[in-house]
Amino acid sequence: MPEGKTAKNRVHLDIRPGLDAVARLVSLGATRVREHNDQTGHWVVMLDPEGNEFCVS
């Protein structure tokens, strides 16, 4: 979509390739935003090069 983000993403991807994939995604242009680790699990919130958020666990 050509307009910028003004609210939540239209689609939110959660992928589970394993946390070792985070370094590879960063090398491909993704940005690590924050990491969560609690009783529900462990995941990393990331942004793709266009600013779309996704999670890796």
The model's pLDDT over 22-47, given as tens digits with 9 standing for 90+, comes to 999 999 999 999 999 999 888 899 99
Question: How many residues are there in the chain?
Answer: 57
- Where are the domains positioned within the chain? 30-57
- Better-predicted residue by pLDDT, 17 or 12: 17
- Sign of the torsion angle spanned by Cα atoms 12, 47, 28, 50: positive
- Better-predicted residue by pLDDT, 13 or 50: 50
Top-confidence range, 2-6, 19-23, 30-34, 45-49: 30-34
Q: What is the pLDDT of residue 49?
A: 92
Q: Would you give the DSSP letter of residue 21?
A: H
